[in-house]
Structures are given as C-alpha cells and as structure tokens.
Amino acid sequence: MGRARFWMVCAAALAASLLLQLAVDGGVLPDLLNPYYLHLLTVIGMNIILVASLNLLNGYLGEFALGHAGFMAVGAYTAALLATKVLPPAADLPPVVGPFCVLVVTLGGAMAAAALVGWLVGLLTFKTVGDYLAIITLGFNMIIVNAIQNLDFVGGPRGFTGIPKNTTFFAVAVCAVLTLAILRNLIQSSFGRVWVSIRENAIAAELMGVAVNRAKNMAFTVAAAFAGLAGGLWAQNQQFITPRSFDYIKTTEILVMLYLGGMASLSGSILGVVAYTVLMEVLRNLLSAFAPQLAEWRMLISPLILILIMLTRRYGLMGNREWSWLRPGRSA
Amino acid sequence: MGVLVQQLLNVAQLGAVYALIALGYSMVYGIIRLINFAHGDIFMLGGFLGLLIGVHLAWLPVYVMMPLAMVLTALAGVLVERVAYRRLRDANRMSVVITTLGVGIFLENLVRLAVGPETRQIRSGLPTGSVTWLQGHLGVYVTWDKVLIILVSLTLMAVLWLIVNRTLVGTAMRAVADAKDVVPLMGVNLNLIIAGTFAIGSALAAAGGIFYGQAYALDPYMGIDLGWKAFIAAVIGGIGSIEGAVLGSFLLAGVEVTTVAYLSSNLKNGIAFGLLILLLLVWPWGIMGKPAMRKV
C-alpha cells in the first residue's frame, strides 16, 4: 500500500514541477509564477538532496559526519570541469537530447568523483567514532577546499566562472525525487537495517556477523555521491562557484536544516529544508516590507527561532517519524 | 638561531591564543560531554567587549580593562548556558549541537549589527618597543606585547590548573566529569558547578579574544574559524584533558607557523589539517585522552 502511494506522490511532484517549469518559461501569470520563486524552489530541491544524503550518515548510521560540503565541492568542480573543458557546448548538440546528455554526463561524473572521495574518507576514518570522526570529516572538508584554492586551472581562490547553465528547476526536481526514492529504498533494504543496527549497537551488530567497516564505508560512498550530485546541479545552476562557498559555513547550514527537520527521517529532511528556506525568505521580505532598516536583523531572528524550536521540540520537527506515504511497507 | 627563536615565539603566541579557547571546549566537554560550538563566538564576543571597554572607558588602565571584559564575557557564557543549554542537558546530543550552532550564529550577527562588519584592532595599552634584553642576547626583535601575551596566557593556564586540581570547586568539577548522576547525591550543586565551568571557560576565551585583537584583528565572524581550530586542537590533545588542550594548541600553532614560514600561507589550513588527521589516525583518542570504554 505504502509503495504505490509513494510512487504516486513522486509522479505527482514531477508532473507539478514540469508544469511549473513550463508555466514560468512561458510567462503565464508572471506575478505568481516568477523566476524568483522558481529559484527558491531550485535551491530547496538541491538542499533536499544534500540534507537527505547527510541524514544517511548522521541519522541512520548514527555517525557525526561534518564534512558534507567537501563532497559537494568535489561534485561541483568535477561537473564544472566536464561542462566547460571536456564536453562541447549544448548549443552545438541536437536540441533536447543534447542538453540532456550533457547533464547526465556531468552529473554522473560529479557523483562518481564524489563517491570516490567519500570512499577514501570512509576508508581512512573507520578507525574513529563519535567526536573524532567529526573532526576528521571536518578536516577533510577543509583539505578539499584548501586543495581547490591552490589549483590554478579551476580558478584557485578566485572561483570558477563561465559554467554553462545546463540545469533547470525540472532537472533539480527529477534529481531530488530520484534521490529520495533511492535513499528510501536503501533504508528499507537490508543495507538500511545494517546501518540502523550499527547505530543502535555497533558491537552487537558485529557479533551478529555485520561487517561494520564495510557497511560504514558503503554509507559514506552513497552519501558522498549524492552530495556530489547536488554540487553538480549547484555549479550548473549558479554558473559560478568559489571554494569558499563549500567550507564549514555551508556544512553548518546543511546541519541546521538536518537537525531542524529531525534525524533519521526523510520527511524531516524535506520539511527541515523547506521550513528553513521559507523562514529565511519570509523574514527577509517581512522585514524589508515593514522596516527596511531592520532587514539586517533577519540574521538575528532566524537563529533565535532555531533555538526556540530546539528547546520546545528537541528531536526536530519529525525526528524518527515519517509521513505515511514515505513510510516503508513494514516498520524498519 | 635568531630566526628560530623568532618563529618559536610566534608559535607560542598563536598557541597561547588557541589554548585559551581550547581550554573552554575541553572543560565543558569533560564535564557535560557537550561540544559547545558557540564557544568560538564567545571568544569573539570577549574580544569585542575588550574593544568596547577600551574605546568607551579609555581612562581605565589595561590591567582593569581585561579582567572587566573577562567578567562580562563569563556572565554572557553563564547566561547562554542558563537560557539555551540547561533545558537540553539530557536531550540527545544532536539537538544540543544544533542549539550551540544557533547560539553561535546569533552571537555573530548580534556583534555585527552592534559594532559593524569591519575588522578592528584593540589599542593594546601595553608598553611598545622591543625587549632589549632579548635583542642583546639572542639578536631577535621581540615586542613587549608579544612577551606579555605569552606570559599572561601561561599564568592564566597555571591558575586554571590550580583551580581544577587544588581547590574544592575543582574537585567537584572532576567529580561531575566522572559521574554526573551520582555527584548531586553527595550534596554538590550540579547547576552551580556547570555554570562555574562555563564562566571559567568564557573568561579564558575573552582573554584570548583580547590578545588576538591586539596581535591581529577582530571581526565578527572570526569566531567560526578560530573556534573550529581550537576545537581541533582540543581534540588532538584529547578532548576533556586540560593538559591535552594546551599541548594540542601549541602543536597546531607550530604546524601552522612552520607551513607559513617554509611553504606557503595558502597551504596553511590544508597541511595543518592533513598532519592532524594523520596524528589522529595514530592516536585515535588524542594524545592525552583516555580511550573510551567499549561496553559489550
């Protein structure tokens, strides 16, 4: 029952995003369906991919990983390199099919590169747990950003410019739905049960014959691949990336959305991203409408709201619970 | 020889600032197993409080201004603990972490709105010029404020060590670190001990912030960067251990200063973190840390 409803919701979301994309491109109802809202939805989609994949590590596997923006950077720079230096511009290719192929190749490359880095990080960090794992993943994030800053052929600290805009809102929506579908099915599968068993008691899991290190490494690889996907989408949507936008401030932002939504809950990841993004935008608009001189204070109000949510709902909005349509067939 | 001494003094200065922050991380972690990610911003707040006191109460001598800023920052730290952390003391660790991140962002923006985004420097009020004895004997040019920063920092660390190891409050702190649930049964006021830990940690961070503002510059977002670095230093040394926090800080400063001096300042963070990760793979619990018990 749950399975059929899940795919129906996915199909409905994709249909709605396709309609929205066409409506904005066609200029129907320019007041309501304008590029600003579409841009917000695009950002929400990319952040859902990031937060949901980090949830795999922090929520389901129960490790305290802090370097997600680093994997995103690997994906973004790989995709940017493929799009500008390797592949021909989409204009030279046949319409519709050409841009689609470009997108598939760049995003595939981004996912593969990030997965490789994630696998390496997982391989090196399996010895440590808890706060030490946090510090090592954070260190890797800083090393990746620092390495990019010292690579001159990708722009170094000045950033990578001139990336073609290959991404649309619809492409992001497809990727986000695919990510959620894959993660949901992974979490329900025997892999997911192994991850949850490691979170609950690693030693007991080991005694039951779980290859703990291999399972952890698998989770790192998958999570990194999806972070790379989000990075690839980000690079080809913003058309300009700098190493600084992938440092620990970005990681902090992803963490804030993750914890706001709630751990070990894909519904929470969606809700956290939407709530955080909408909150920031509403605050910006409200403050600039009523008191432009107070617009700056938005940055003060949003963390306060975050603290309040944490004090009143300490497991986040959806911690360990799922919406019924996202719930697996049997309880995991 | 002269260059070596000069670099060692640079290491000592940077390491002292890192240590003053790392001690706060380590003490709070040791006692309630909380990584207070807002601690870097407490350090920044301390620096700016020092700056504001220096600007608005310029008639105060420097040896009054610094303790005053330390007391105010200690109050801020205790306030943060009381308002934001106390109710989450037995919540799961993730929601506490997110709260500390939120407090950090709040403090950054509060200071930025109050003082402005530009970088500022604290008028040091310390004697200027070089220490002539050192110049005469070793041929190194060392300014007085550098020497004073190192000496005052070391004194503060020694005072902290005495408090923790030789006083009743310190005994209570160590007892809380050992068995948080049992200690209140012995008649120790747990809230008071935890508030005291936050106060001491914040006061040390304020001293670090003022020194940093005198030696380098203050800006509202510096707490993130230095906070992470000090946290890393604390973990390297073995988080929860006071000696470890100091050792880790000087080690991190040493790696950074060496990288800047002999390689490139662009590679500073990368090489520092690379070496420190290698170190952690050798000593997974930090140099002075105790291995966590594996419960079966």
Q: In A, which residues are within 8 Å of B113 by CB distance?
A: 296-297, 299-300
Tell me whether residue A321 is in a domain.
Answer: no
Query: What span, in angstroms and rounded, lies between the C-alpha atoms of B218 and B120?
Result: 5
Q: Is the pLDDT of residue B31 over 80?
A: yes
Residue of B nearest to A319 (CA): B95
Tell me how crowded residue A28 is: count the other CB atoms within 10 A of its CB. 11
The pLDDT value given to residue A331: 47
Mutation test of the interface with chain A: which of B89, B115, B280, choosing the one with the most A Cβ atoms within 10 A? B280
CA nearest A188: which of A136, A120, A264, A107? A264
Of B98, B268, B295, the CB nearest to A256: B98
- List C-alpha distances in Å: A222 to A68, A122, A229, A263: 12, 11, 11, 18
Q: How far apart are CA A256 and CA B33, in angstroms?
A: 20
> How many structural domains compose chain A?
1
pLDDT of B30 reads 86
In a domain, A234, yes or no: yes
Any domain includes A211: yes
Q: Nearest CB to B95: which of A128, A132, A316?
A: A316
Chain B contact set for A260 (CB, 8 A):
98
Q: Which candidate in A55, A63, A135 is best for mutational testing of the B interface (most B CBs within 10 A)?
A: A135
Q: What is the DSSP letter of B218?
A: B
CA–CA distances in Å: residue A125 to residues A157, A160, A224, B245: 28, 30, 14, 22
The residue type at B72: L
Residue of B28, B83, B94, B109 to mutate when probing chain A, most A C-beta within 10 A: B94
Higher pLDDT, B24 or A289: B24
d(CA B205, CA B18): 9
Do residue B102 and residue A304 have CB atoms under 8 angstroms apart? yes
Helix, coil or strand: residue B120: strand
Residue A264: pLDDT band with limits 50, 70, 90? confident
Of the candidates B105, B228, B281, the beta carbon closest to that of A303 is on B105
For the ranges A23-37, A163-177, A285-299, the maximum mean pLDDT occurs at A163-177
Strands (E), B75-220: none
Q: How far apart are CA B62 and CA A174, in angstroms?
A: 62
Q: Which of B47, B72, B68 is nearest to B199 (CA)?
A: B72
What's the confidence (pLDDT) of residue A123? 87
- The answer to whether the Cβ–Cβ distance between B280 and A140 falls below 8 Å is no
pLDDT at B2 over 90: no
What does pLDDT average to over chain B?
86
B106 CB neighbours in chain A (<8 A) are 300, 303-304, 307
Question: B296 to chain A, minimum CA–CA distance in Å?
Answer: 7
pLDDT digits (tens, 9 = 90+) for B215-224: 888 988 888 8
Is B149 within 8 Å of B9 (Cβ atoms)? Answer: no
Decide if pLDDT at B208 tops 50. yes
Q: Maximum Cα–Cα distance for chain B, whole Å?
A: 63
The pTM of the whole model exceeds 0.95:
no
Amino acid at position B80, single letter: V
As a 3-state breakdown, chain A gives helix, strand, coil percent values, each rounded to 5, of 75, 0, 20
- A224, part of any domain: yes
Rounded to whole angstroms, the Cα distance separating B212 from B160 reads: 20
Residue A241 — φ and ψ, nearest 5°?
Answer: -130, 145
Using an 8 Å CB-CB cutoff, list chain B residues near A143.
Answer: 269-270, 273-274, 277
Residue B200 has pLDDT above 90, yes or no: yes
At A94, is the pLDDT very low, low, confident or very high (cuts 50, 70, 90)?
A: confident
Q: With beta carbons less than 8 A apart as the criterion, state whether B44 and B220 touch.
A: yes
Phi, psi of B79 (to 5 degrees): -60, -45
**CA-to-CA distance for A57 and A126, rounded, in angstroms?**
13
Asked if the model's pLDDT at residue A155 lies above 90, the reply is no
- The Cα of B46 is separated from the nearest Cα of chain A by a number of Å equal to 19
Q: How many Cβ atoms from other residues are within 10 Å of residue A234's Cβ? A: 27
Average pLDDT over residues B244-263: 89
Residue in B102, B105, B266 closest to A149 by CB: B266
pLDDT tens profile B153-189: 999 999 999 999 999 989 999 898 888 888 889 888 9
Closest-CA residue to A9 (of A175, A181, A172): A181
Q: Of A246, A314, A318, A320, which to mutate for an interface test with B (greatest number of B Cβ within 10 Å)?
A: A314
pLDDT digits 0-9 by tens, A277-308:
888 888 888 877 777 777 677 778 878 887 88
Burial environment of residue B155 by CB neighbours within 10 A (0 to 12, 13 to 18, 19 or more) = exposed
Judge whether residue B22 has pLDDT over 80. yes
**Confidence class for position A332, pLDDT limits 50, 70, 90:** very low
Say which residues have a Cβ less than 8 Å from residue B103's Cβ, sequence separation at least 6: A303, A307, B38, B41, B80, B84
**Can you give the CATH number for the domain in which A48 is found?**
1.10.3470
pLDDT for A186 beyond 80: yes
Q: What is the pLDDT of residue B12?
A: 92
State residue B38's pLDDT score.
92
Structure token pair of residue B243: 């000696």
Contact A132 B286 (CB under 8 A): yes
For B117-151, what is each residue's pLDDT tens digit?
Answer: 888 888 766 666 667 776 777 777 777 778 888 89
pLDDT tier, A77 (very low <50, low <70, confident <90, very high otherwise): very high
Residue A220: what are its φ and ψ, rounded to 5°? Answer: -60, -45
Residue A168 pLDDT exceeds 80 = yes
Check if the beta carbon of residue A112 is closer than 8 Å to that of residue A85. no
In the chain, the amino acid numbered A31 is D
Q: In angstroms, what separates the C-alpha of B26 from chain A's closest C-alpha?
A: 12
Q: Give the span between the Cα atoms of B176 and B184, in whole angstroms.
A: 8
Is A39 part of a structural domain of the chain?
Answer: yes
B176 within 8 A of B198, measured Cβ to Cβ? no
Mean pLDDT of all residues in chain A? 86
Euclidean distance between CA atoms A263 and B276, whole angstroms: 29
Euclidean distance between CA atoms A237 and A235, whole angstroms: 5
Minimum distance, in Å, between the CA of residue B133 and any CA atom of chain A: 41
Q: pLDDT-based confidence at B1, cuts 50/70/90?
A: low
Domain presence at residue A68: yes
A-chain residues near B277 (CB < 8 A): 124, 136, 139-140, 143
Whether the CB-CB separation of A261 and A188 falls below 8 Å is answered with no
B108 within 8 A of B223, measured Cβ to Cβ: yes
List the single residue in B29, B101, B270 with the smallest CB-CB distance to A146.
B270
Angstrom distance (rounded) from CA B79 to CA A307? 14
Q: Is residue A289 a part of any domain in this protein?
A: no
Task: DSSP for B37-79, please give it.
Answer: TTHHHHHHHHHHHHHHHHHHTTTS-HHHHHHHHHHHHHHHHHH
Most confident of A70-84, A154-168, A309-323, B273-287: A70-84
Average pLDDT score over residue span A202-223 = 90
Rg from Cα positions in chain A: 20
Q: What is the mean pLDDT of residues A140-157?
A: 87
Whether residue A124 is contained in a domain is answered as: yes
Contacts of A139 (CB under 8 A, 6+ apart): A67, B232, B273, B274, B276, B277
* Token pair listed for B71: 């007391």
Check: CB of residue A270 under 8 Å from CB of residue A261.
yes
Alpha-carbon gap, residue B218 to A127, rounded angstroms: 38
Query: Structural domain of residue A127, as residue ranges?
Result: 2-247
